[in-house]
Protein backbone atom coordinates (compact mmCIF):
# COMPACT_ATOMS: atom_id res chain seq x y z
CA UNK A 1 0.00 0.00 0.00
CA UNK A 2 1.11 3.53 -0.76
CA UNK A 3 -0.13 6.86 0.49
CA UNK A 4 -3.04 8.52 -1.28
CA UNK A 5 -2.33 10.12 -4.66
CA UNK A 6 -4.11 13.20 -3.33
CA UNK A 7 -2.51 13.24 0.09
CA UNK A 8 -2.47 17.05 0.37
CA UNK A 9 -6.27 17.06 0.10
CA UNK A 10 -6.90 13.89 2.11
CA UNK A 11 -4.89 15.12 5.10
CA UNK A 12 -7.12 18.19 5.27
CA UNK A 13 -10.37 16.30 4.62
CA UNK A 14 -10.06 13.23 6.85
CA UNK A 15 -9.80 15.01 10.23
CA UNK A 16 -13.17 16.61 9.39
CA UNK A 17 -14.74 13.48 7.86
CA UNK A 18 -17.28 12.98 10.67
CA UNK A 19 -18.66 16.50 10.14
CA UNK A 20 -18.61 16.15 6.35
CA UNK A 21 -20.55 12.88 6.46
CA UNK A 22 -23.10 14.30 8.90
CA UNK A 23 -23.70 17.26 6.58
CA UNK A 24 -24.12 15.03 3.52
CA UNK A 25 -26.42 12.70 5.42
CA UNK A 26 -28.48 15.62 6.69
CA UNK A 27 -29.19 16.69 3.11
CA UNK A 28 -30.63 13.24 2.39
CA UNK A 29 -33.44 13.98 4.84
CA UNK A 30 -36.07 11.27 5.34
CA UNK A 31 -34.18 8.88 3.10
CA UNK A 32 -31.71 8.40 5.93
CA UNK A 33 -34.09 7.24 8.65
CA UNK A 34 -32.28 4.29 10.19
CA UNK A 35 -34.35 2.28 12.65
CA UNK A 36 -31.24 0.57 14.02
CA UNK A 37 -30.03 3.99 15.18
CA UNK A 38 -33.28 4.81 16.99
CA UNK A 39 -34.24 1.37 18.33
CA UNK A 40 -30.80 0.22 19.50
CA UNK A 41 -28.46 1.82 22.02
CA UNK A 42 -24.78 1.88 21.08
CA UNK A 43 -22.60 -0.42 23.21
CA UNK A 44 -18.83 -0.98 23.09
CA UNK A 45 -17.44 -4.51 23.51
CA UNK A 46 -13.80 -4.59 24.61
CA UNK A 47 -13.45 -8.34 23.94
CA UNK A 48 -15.23 -8.16 20.54
CA UNK A 49 -17.99 -10.45 21.82
CA UNK A 50 -21.73 -9.90 21.85
CA UNK A 51 -24.33 -11.37 24.15
CA UNK A 52 -28.10 -11.31 24.28
CA UNK A 53 -29.67 -12.38 27.56
CA UNK A 54 -33.38 -12.84 28.19
CA UNK A 55 -35.09 -13.70 31.45
CA UNK A 56 -38.31 -15.72 31.39
CA UNK A 57 -39.85 -13.72 34.20
CA UNK A 58 -43.05 -14.38 36.13
CA UNK A 59 -43.70 -12.10 39.07
CA UNK A 60 -45.33 -13.83 42.03
CA UNK A 61 -46.71 -12.19 45.14
CA UNK A 62 -44.86 -12.20 48.43
CA UNK A 63 -46.24 -14.18 51.39
CA UNK A 64 -47.48 -12.89 54.71
CA UNK A 65 -45.32 -14.39 57.45
CA UNK A 66 -45.42 -14.24 61.20
CA UNK A 67 -42.79 -12.32 63.14
CA UNK A 68 -39.59 -14.30 63.81
CA UNK A 69 -40.48 -16.68 60.91
CA UNK A 70 -38.15 -17.37 57.95
CA UNK A 71 -39.04 -15.94 54.56
CA UNK A 72 -40.29 -18.55 52.05
CA UNK A 73 -38.06 -19.17 49.01
CA UNK A 74 -39.48 -18.78 45.52
CA UNK A 75 -38.30 -20.35 42.27
CA UNK A 76 -35.75 -18.35 40.29
CA UNK A 77 -36.62 -17.35 36.74
CA UNK A 78 -34.77 -19.02 33.89
CA UNK A 79 -32.13 -17.09 31.95
CA UNK A 80 -31.32 -17.78 28.30
CA UNK A 81 -28.19 -16.53 26.55
CA UNK A 82 -27.17 -16.10 22.93
CA UNK A 83 -23.61 -14.97 22.27
CA UNK A 84 -20.77 -14.94 19.79
CA UNK A 85 -17.96 -12.96 18.17
CA UNK A 86 -18.64 -9.69 16.39
CA UNK A 87 -18.54 -10.03 12.59
CA UNK A 88 -16.58 -7.67 10.38
CA UNK A 89 -18.56 -5.43 8.03
CA UNK A 90 -16.87 -3.51 5.25
CA UNK A 91 -16.67 -2.31 1.69
CA UNK A 92 -14.22 -0.71 -0.69
CA UNK A 93 -14.47 1.94 -3.42
CA UNK A 94 -11.85 2.32 -6.16
CA UNK A 95 -10.80 5.32 -8.21
CA UNK A 96 -9.35 3.92 -11.43
CA UNK A 97 -6.97 5.63 -13.84
CA UNK A 98 -9.73 7.41 -15.77
CA UNK A 99 -11.19 8.99 -12.63
CA UNK A 100 -7.70 9.78 -11.29
CA UNK A 101 -6.89 11.60 -14.54
CA UNK A 102 -10.14 13.54 -14.31
CA UNK A 103 -9.17 14.86 -10.87
CA UNK A 104 -5.65 15.64 -12.09
CA UNK A 105 -7.14 17.67 -14.95
CA UNK A 106 -9.29 19.58 -12.44
CA UNK A 107 -6.12 20.42 -10.47
CA UNK A 108 -4.27 21.49 -13.60
CA UNK A 109 -7.13 23.76 -14.64
CA UNK A 110 -7.13 25.46 -11.25
CA UNK A 111 -10.29 23.99 -9.80
CA UNK A 112 -11.02 25.16 -6.27
CA UNK A 113 -10.06 23.10 -3.24
CA UNK A 114 -13.76 22.63 -2.46
CA UNK A 115 -14.53 21.19 -5.90
CA UNK A 116 -11.72 18.65 -5.69
CA UNK A 117 -12.49 17.87 -2.04
CA UNK A 118 -16.10 17.11 -2.97
CA UNK A 119 -14.88 14.58 -5.53
CA UNK A 120 -12.60 12.95 -2.98
CA UNK A 121 -15.27 12.73 -0.24
CA UNK A 122 -17.76 10.83 -2.37
CA UNK A 123 -16.12 7.47 -1.66
CA UNK A 124 -15.63 7.94 2.12
CA UNK A 125 -19.29 8.97 2.43
CA UNK A 126 -20.34 5.93 0.38
CA UNK A 127 -18.32 3.60 2.61
CA UNK A 128 -19.79 5.07 5.78
CA UNK A 129 -23.35 4.91 4.47
CA UNK A 130 -22.71 1.41 3.13
CA UNK A 131 -22.00 0.19 6.67
CA UNK A 132 -25.19 1.91 7.89
CA UNK A 133 -27.18 0.16 5.17
CA UNK A 134 -25.77 -3.23 6.16
CA UNK A 135 -26.52 -2.59 9.82
CA UNK A 136 -30.07 -1.61 8.91
CA UNK A 137 -30.56 -4.73 6.80
CA UNK A 138 -29.19 -6.97 9.56
CA UNK A 139 -31.34 -5.24 12.18
CA UNK A 140 -34.61 -5.52 10.25
CA UNK A 141 -33.93 -9.16 9.35
CA UNK A 142 -32.98 -10.00 12.94
CA UNK A 143 -35.99 -8.31 14.53
CA UNK A 144 -38.54 -9.76 12.12
CA UNK A 145 -37.11 -13.31 12.06
CA UNK A 146 -35.21 -13.62 15.33
CA UNK A 147 -32.34 -14.89 13.17
CA UNK A 148 -29.86 -13.17 10.86
CA UNK A 149 -27.22 -14.50 8.48
CA UNK A 150 -24.03 -12.44 8.22
CA UNK A 151 -21.14 -13.15 5.91
CA UNK A 152 -18.06 -14.86 7.28
CA UNK A 153 -15.11 -12.80 6.03
CA UNK A 154 -12.84 -15.86 6.19
CA UNK A 155 -15.11 -18.13 4.14
CA UNK A 156 -16.38 -16.71 0.87
CA UNK A 157 -20.01 -17.59 0.30
CA UNK A 158 -20.43 -18.89 3.85
CA UNK A 159 -22.78 -17.21 6.30
CA UNK A 160 -22.72 -17.04 10.07
CA UNK A 161 -26.20 -17.88 11.41
CA UNK A 162 -26.96 -15.78 14.48
CA UNK A 163 -30.01 -16.90 16.44
CA UNK A 164 -31.41 -14.58 19.10
CA UNK A 165 -33.58 -17.41 20.47
CA UNK A 166 -37.10 -16.04 20.17
CA UNK A 167 -39.20 -17.96 22.69
CA UNK A 168 -41.48 -20.62 21.13
CA UNK A 169 -44.19 -19.81 23.67
CA UNK A 170 -44.27 -16.23 22.28
CA UNK A 171 -44.46 -17.22 18.60
CA UNK A 172 -47.85 -17.79 17.01
CA UNK A 173 -49.48 -18.62 13.70
CA UNK A 174 -52.84 -17.50 12.31
CA UNK A 175 -56.17 -19.31 12.28
CA UNK A 176 -56.29 -19.19 8.49
CA UNK A 177 -52.94 -19.08 6.64
CA UNK A 178 -52.26 -15.83 4.74
CA UNK A 179 -55.16 -14.01 6.41
CA UNK A 180 -54.85 -11.85 9.52
CA UNK A 181 -57.97 -11.77 11.67
CA UNK A 182 -58.55 -9.52 14.66
CA UNK A 183 -58.66 -12.69 16.78
CA UNK A 184 -55.12 -13.54 15.62
CA UNK A 185 -53.85 -10.20 16.89
CA UNK A 186 -55.90 -10.42 20.09
CA UNK A 187 -54.51 -13.91 20.69
CA UNK A 188 -50.96 -12.53 20.84
CA UNK A 189 -52.00 -9.54 22.94
CA UNK A 190 -53.71 -11.88 25.42
CA UNK A 191 -50.54 -13.97 25.78
CA UNK A 192 -48.46 -10.85 26.44
CA UNK A 193 -51.01 -9.63 28.98
CA UNK A 194 -50.98 -13.03 30.73
CA UNK A 195 -47.18 -12.73 30.96
CA UNK A 196 -47.51 -9.31 32.59
CA UNK A 197 -46.22 -7.51 29.49
CA UNK A 198 -47.93 -4.51 27.90
CA UNK A 199 -47.57 -4.26 24.14
CA UNK A 200 -46.98 -0.69 22.99
CA UNK A 201 -45.96 -1.18 19.34
CA UNK A 202 -46.85 -3.58 16.54
CA UNK A 203 -44.11 -3.59 13.91
CA UNK A 204 -44.87 -4.93 10.44
CA UNK A 205 -44.27 -4.48 6.73
CA UNK A 206 -46.24 -1.66 5.12
CA UNK A 207 -47.65 -4.16 2.61
CA UNK A 208 -48.94 -6.35 5.46
CA UNK A 209 -50.41 -3.32 7.22
CA UNK A 210 -52.23 -2.30 4.04
CA UNK A 211 -53.60 -5.84 3.68
CA UNK A 212 -54.98 -5.60 7.23
CA UNK A 213 -56.71 -2.29 6.46
CA UNK A 214 -58.59 -3.98 3.63
CA UNK A 215 -60.09 -6.72 5.83
CA UNK A 216 -63.74 -6.57 6.85
CA UNK A 217 -62.88 -6.48 10.54
CA UNK A 218 -60.66 -3.42 10.02
CA UNK A 219 -63.47 -1.64 8.18
CA UNK A 220 -65.95 -2.49 10.93
CA UNK A 221 -63.52 -1.42 13.66
CA UNK A 222 -63.25 2.04 12.11
CA UNK A 223 -66.98 2.24 11.48
CA UNK A 224 -67.72 1.45 15.14
CA UNK A 225 -65.08 3.95 16.23
CA UNK A 226 -66.87 6.63 14.23
CA UNK A 227 -70.23 5.65 15.76
CA UNK A 228 -71.56 4.20 12.52
CA UNK A 229 -74.18 1.47 12.75
CA UNK A 230 -73.05 -1.63 10.87
CA UNK A 231 -75.51 -4.31 9.80
CA UNK A 232 -74.95 -7.37 7.64
CA UNK A 233 -74.48 -6.35 4.05
CA UNK A 234 -73.29 -2.83 4.85
CA UNK A 235 -70.65 -1.86 2.31
CA UNK A 236 -67.77 -0.13 4.04
CA UNK A 237 -64.82 1.69 2.47
CA UNK A 238 -61.20 0.82 3.19
CA UNK A 239 -60.26 3.15 6.06
CA UNK A 240 -57.43 5.61 5.75
CA UNK A 241 -54.24 4.73 7.59
CA UNK A 242 -54.64 7.55 10.11
CA UNK A 243 -58.24 6.63 10.87
CA UNK A 244 -57.46 2.93 11.23
CA UNK A 245 -54.51 3.73 13.52
CA UNK A 246 -56.79 5.89 15.70
CA UNK A 247 -59.50 3.24 15.91
CA UNK A 248 -57.05 0.44 16.67
CA UNK A 249 -55.26 2.46 19.35
CA UNK A 250 -58.59 3.41 20.92
CA UNK A 251 -59.60 -0.26 21.10
CA UNK A 252 -56.21 -1.48 22.37
CA UNK A 253 -54.89 0.86 25.05
CA UNK A 254 -52.99 3.11 22.68
CA UNK A 255 -51.01 0.47 20.80
CA UNK A 256 -49.47 1.96 17.67
CA UNK A 257 -48.26 0.51 14.39
CA UNK A 258 -44.66 0.92 13.21
CA UNK A 259 -44.71 0.27 9.46
CA UNK A 260 -41.56 -0.83 7.68
CA UNK A 261 -41.05 -0.21 3.98
CA UNK A 262 -37.30 -0.29 3.61
CA UNK A 263 -35.32 -1.37 0.56
CA UNK A 264 -31.58 -2.10 0.72
CA UNK A 265 -29.40 -2.53 -2.37
CA UNK A 266 -26.84 -5.31 -2.25
CA UNK A 267 -23.98 -5.72 -4.71
CA UNK A 268 -22.25 -8.97 -5.57
CA UNK A 269 -19.87 -9.58 -8.45
CA UNK A 270 -20.68 -6.10 -9.79
CA UNK A 271 -24.44 -6.75 -9.94
CA UNK A 272 -26.80 -4.69 -7.80
CA UNK A 273 -30.02 -6.12 -6.42
CA UNK A 274 -32.66 -4.36 -4.29
CA UNK A 275 -34.37 -6.34 -1.54
CA UNK A 276 -36.53 -5.74 1.53
CA UNK A 277 -34.86 -7.11 4.68
CA UNK A 278 -38.01 -7.07 6.83
CA UNK A 279 -39.93 -10.37 6.56
CA UNK A 280 -43.39 -9.30 5.37
CA UNK A 281 -44.86 -12.56 6.72
CA UNK A 282 -43.96 -11.63 10.30
CA UNK A 283 -45.73 -9.23 12.65
CA UNK A 284 -43.68 -8.33 15.74
CA UNK A 285 -45.25 -7.16 19.02
CA UNK A 286 -43.02 -4.99 21.24
CA UNK A 287 -43.27 -3.69 24.80
CA UNK A 288 -40.69 -0.98 24.05
CA UNK A 289 -39.04 0.45 20.95
CA UNK A 290 -35.57 0.04 22.41
CA UNK A 291 -35.06 -3.60 21.51
CA UNK A 292 -31.34 -4.12 22.01
CA UNK A 293 -27.88 -2.78 21.29
CA UNK A 294 -25.64 -1.96 18.36
CA UNK A 295 -22.57 -3.71 19.71
CA UNK A 296 -19.21 -2.68 18.29
CA UNK A 297 -15.56 -3.46 18.87
CA UNK A 298 -12.10 -2.11 18.02
CA UNK A 299 -10.64 -3.21 14.70
CA UNK A 300 -7.12 -4.63 14.58
CA UNK A 301 -6.15 -2.00 11.99
CA UNK A 302 -7.29 0.76 14.35
CA UNK A 303 -4.59 -0.17 16.86
CA UNK A 304 -2.13 -1.36 14.20
CA UNK A 305 -2.28 1.28 11.44
CA UNK A 306 -0.57 0.52 8.14
CA UNK A 307 2.19 2.89 7.06
CA UNK A 308 1.13 5.27 4.32
CA UNK A 309 -2.60 4.84 4.92
CA UNK A 310 -4.67 7.81 6.12
CA UNK A 311 -7.42 6.93 8.63
CA UNK A 312 -10.50 8.56 10.06
CA UNK A 313 -13.01 7.21 12.60
CA UNK A 314 -16.71 7.90 12.01
CA UNK A 315 -19.54 7.24 14.48
CA UNK A 316 -16.98 5.76 16.91
CA UNK A 317 -16.88 2.33 15.25
CA UNK A 318 -16.36 2.87 11.49
CA UNK A 319 -12.76 3.02 10.31
CA UNK A 320 -12.45 4.84 6.98
CA UNK A 321 -9.08 4.68 5.21
CA UNK A 322 -7.51 5.96 2.01
CA UNK A 323 -4.45 4.68 0.14
CA UNK A 324 -3.17 3.90 -3.37
CA UNK A 325 -1.59 1.04 -5.30
CA UNK A 326 0.13 0.77 -8.66
CA UNK A 327 0.07 -1.74 -11.54
CA UNK A 328 -2.54 -0.62 -12.37
CA UNK A 329 -2.66 2.75 -10.64
CA UNK A 330 -5.66 2.89 -8.32
CA UNK A 331 -6.87 4.97 -5.36
CA UNK A 332 -8.72 3.00 -2.69
CA UNK A 333 -11.17 4.09 -0.02
CA UNK A 334 -12.08 1.46 2.53
CA UNK A 335 -14.74 1.39 5.26
CA UNK A 336 -14.82 -1.34 7.89
CA UNK A 337 -16.31 -2.06 11.31
CA UNK A 338 -16.74 -4.79 13.89
CA UNK A 339 -20.43 -4.35 14.59
CA UNK A 340 -23.68 -6.26 15.03
CA UNK A 341 -27.27 -5.27 15.87
CA UNK A 342 -28.16 -7.45 18.87
CA UNK A 343 -31.78 -8.14 19.86
CA UNK A 344 -32.25 -8.33 23.64
CA UNK A 345 -35.02 -9.13 26.12
CA UNK A 346 -36.63 -11.56 23.70
CA UNK A 347 -38.93 -12.75 26.49
CA UNK A 348 -40.82 -9.48 25.86
CA UNK A 349 -41.00 -9.88 22.07
CA UNK A 350 -43.96 -11.67 20.47
CA UNK A 351 -44.27 -12.86 16.89
CA UNK A 352 -47.17 -13.65 14.55
CA UNK A 353 -46.38 -15.58 11.37
CA UNK A 354 -49.15 -15.01 8.83
CA UNK A 355 -48.14 -18.04 6.75
CA UNK A 356 -47.95 -20.44 9.71
CA UNK A 357 -51.13 -22.48 9.94
CA UNK A 358 -52.81 -25.69 8.85
CA UNK A 359 -55.69 -26.08 6.41
CA UNK A 360 -58.44 -28.66 6.50
CA UNK A 361 -57.41 -31.69 4.42
CA UNK A 362 -60.64 -31.92 2.45
CA UNK A 363 -59.59 -35.08 0.61
CA UNK A 364 -58.83 -36.97 3.83
CA UNK A 365 -61.91 -35.69 5.62
CA UNK A 366 -64.25 -36.59 2.76
CA UNK A 367 -63.41 -40.26 3.30
CA UNK A 368 -63.91 -39.97 7.07
CA UNK A 369 -67.66 -40.53 6.97
CA UNK A 370 -67.91 -41.19 10.70
CA UNK A 371 -65.95 -38.04 11.59
CA UNK A 372 -63.64 -40.14 13.75
CA UNK A 373 -60.36 -38.60 12.61
CA UNK A 374 -58.68 -35.25 12.24
CA UNK A 375 -55.88 -34.82 9.71
CA UNK A 376 -53.28 -32.23 10.68
CA UNK A 377 -49.54 -31.82 10.00
CA UNK A 378 -50.03 -34.41 7.22
CA UNK A 379 -51.07 -37.10 9.73
CA UNK A 380 -54.46 -38.52 10.71
CA UNK A 381 -55.26 -38.76 14.43
CA UNK A 382 -58.18 -40.15 16.44
CA UNK A 383 -60.32 -37.08 16.84
CA UNK A 384 -61.72 -37.52 20.39
CA UNK A 385 -58.28 -38.29 21.82
CA UNK A 386 -56.75 -35.41 19.86
CA UNK A 387 -59.32 -33.00 21.31
CA UNK A 388 -58.70 -34.31 24.82
CA UNK A 389 -54.98 -33.65 24.56
CA UNK A 390 -55.64 -30.22 23.06
CA UNK A 391 -57.90 -29.30 25.98
CA UNK A 392 -55.23 -30.37 28.49
CA UNK A 393 -52.59 -28.15 26.87
CA UNK A 394 -54.78 -25.14 26.16
CA UNK A 395 -57.05 -25.40 29.21
CA UNK A 396 -60.05 -25.45 26.88
CA UNK A 397 -63.32 -27.35 26.81
CA UNK A 398 -63.67 -28.21 23.13
CA UNK A 399 -66.18 -30.96 22.43
CA UNK A 400 -64.92 -34.17 20.84
CA UNK A 401 -67.43 -33.62 18.05
CA UNK A 402 -66.14 -30.15 17.11
CA UNK A 403 -66.18 -29.43 13.37
CA UNK A 404 -62.89 -30.06 11.60
CA UNK A 405 -62.45 -26.47 10.43
CA UNK A 406 -62.97 -25.12 13.95
CA UNK A 407 -60.53 -27.66 15.42
CA UNK A 408 -57.89 -26.78 12.82
CA UNK A 409 -58.40 -23.07 13.58
CA UNK A 410 -57.97 -23.83 17.30
CA UNK A 411 -54.72 -25.69 16.58
CA UNK A 412 -53.48 -22.76 14.52
CA UNK A 413 -53.97 -20.43 17.51
CA UNK A 414 -51.43 -22.38 19.56
CA UNK A 415 -48.01 -20.96 20.21
CA UNK A 416 -45.06 -22.84 18.73
CA UNK A 417 -44.35 -24.29 22.18
CA UNK A 418 -47.94 -25.46 22.66
CA UNK A 419 -48.03 -26.94 19.17
CA UNK A 420 -44.84 -28.90 19.84
CA UNK A 421 -46.33 -30.19 23.10
CA UNK A 422 -49.54 -31.22 21.32
CA UNK A 423 -47.61 -33.07 18.61
CA UNK A 424 -45.80 -35.04 21.30
CA UNK A 425 -48.99 -35.73 23.28
CA UNK A 426 -50.96 -37.11 20.29
CA UNK A 427 -48.11 -39.27 18.98
CA UNK A 428 -49.81 -42.38 20.42
CA UNK A 429 -53.21 -41.44 18.98
CA UNK A 430 -52.42 -41.78 15.28
CA UNK A 431 -55.27 -43.22 13.24
CA UNK A 432 -54.63 -46.31 11.17
Query: pLDDT tens, 306-315?
Result: 999 999 999 9
Least confident of 104-113, 203-212, 350-359: 104-113
Q: Which band of pLDDT confidence, cut at 50, 70 and 90, is reported for residue 276?
A: very high
- What is the per-residue pLDDT for 4? 87
> Phi-psi category of 29—alpha, beta or left, where left has phi over 0 and alpha has psi -120 to 50?
left
- The answer, yes or no, to whether the previous bond of 163 is cis (omega within 30 of 0) is no
Query: CB–CB of 315/338 below 8 Å?
Result: no
Asked whether the predicted pLDDT for residue 52 surpasses 80, the reply is no
Asked whether the predicted pLDDT for residue 80 surpasses 50, the reply is no
What burial letters (b/e) apply to 412-425, b meaning 16+ CB within 10 Å? bbbbbebbebbbeb
Asked whether the predicted pLDDT for residue 168 surpasses 80, the reply is yes
Residue 71, phi then psi, degrees to nearest 5 = -80, 135
Q: Which helix (H) or strand (E) holds 253?
A: none
Percent of the chain past pLDDT 70, that is, above it, reads 89
- What is the per-residue pLDDT for 62? 54
- 3 state SS of 116: helix
Calculate the alpha carbon distances from 267 to 130, 139, 270 in Å: 11, 18, 6
| Other CB atoms within 10 Å distance of the CB of residue 237 | 8
Asked whether the predicted pLDDT for residue 374 surpasses 50, the reply is yes
- What is the per-residue pLDDT for 56? 43
Query: Residue 51: which of 87, 88, 82, 86 has the closest Cα?
Result: 82
Domains annotated for the chain, with CATH where assigned, are 7-58+79-164+294-345 (3.15.30), 168-260+349-353 (no CATH), 362-429 (no CATH)
- What is the per-residue pLDDT for 74? 47
Least confident of 47-51, 322-326, 415-419: 47-51
- What is the per-residue pLDDT for 79? 42
List pLDDT tens digits, range 280-304: 999 999 999 999 999 999 999 999 9
Amino acid sequence: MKESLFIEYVKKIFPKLQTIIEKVNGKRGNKLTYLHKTMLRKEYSADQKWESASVNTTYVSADMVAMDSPLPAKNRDSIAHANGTLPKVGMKKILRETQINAINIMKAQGASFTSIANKLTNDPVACSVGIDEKNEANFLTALSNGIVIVEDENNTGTGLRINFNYMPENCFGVEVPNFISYDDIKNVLSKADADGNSITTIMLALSTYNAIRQTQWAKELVANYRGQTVVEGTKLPVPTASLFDEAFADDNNGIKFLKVDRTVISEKNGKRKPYKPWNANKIIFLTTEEVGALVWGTLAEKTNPVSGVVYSTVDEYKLISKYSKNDPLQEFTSGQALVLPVIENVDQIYSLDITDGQLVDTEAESSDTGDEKITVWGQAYKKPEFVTEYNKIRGSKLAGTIADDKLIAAVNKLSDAEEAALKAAVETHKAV
